[in-house]
Amino acid sequence: MTYYIIGVFGILVGLYALIKVEVPFLRLGSLIPVLVGMYSLTVPTQQAMMDKDNKVKLVEAKKIASCKLIEENINNGFFQSNTNKLDCDGVIRNIPVSEYDTLMEKLKGK
């Protein structure tokens, strides 16, 4: 909510200065509050998207945690990353070790 107030206030101040100021180089300076205000209106949207991504990762981590680890750190050759083989209710999934570790850390951190 604070970002919205700052954003709207910045835009209004900048537009007011743009209209009322007579000196040309100061008129350009009045664009700064407008730009800062417009940027601050996008910050909550970015934070909401990050929160949504975290929730999706947490749900995925819970699904992976319910699977049975069959084989760990399987070498797939030089050009591919090592994988873990999981049994998820009869479905075999091969997940890269780095992704598996990241999901498990996310699940521990909640």
Long-range contacts of 44-51 (CB under 8 A, 24+ apart): 44/3, 44/4
- pLDDT for the residue numbered 13: 78
- This prediction has a pTM of 0.51
The answer to whether residues 8 and 38 belong to one domain is: yes
Query: 19 is in which domain, residue-wise?
Result: 1-48
Determine, yes or no, domain membership for 16.
yes
Residues 75 and 109 in one domain: yes
Instruction: Specify the pLDDT at position 83.
Output: 93
DSSP classification of residue 75:
-
CB distance 7 to 37 below 8 Å: yes
Question: How many domains does the chain divide into?
Answer: 2
Helix segments in the chain, DSSP class H: 2-20, 24-29, 31-65, 97-109
Asked if 14 and 6 count as a contact pair (C-beta separation under 8 A), the reply is no
Task: Examine the domain organization and report whether 36 and 71 are in the same domain.
Answer: no
- The answer to whether position 59 is within a domain reads no
Q: Are 32 and 70 members of one domain?
A: no
User: Does 39 reside within a domain?
Assistant: yes
17-76 residue pLDDT tens: 777 777 776 666 777 777 777 777 777 666 677 777 777 788 888 888 899 999 999 998
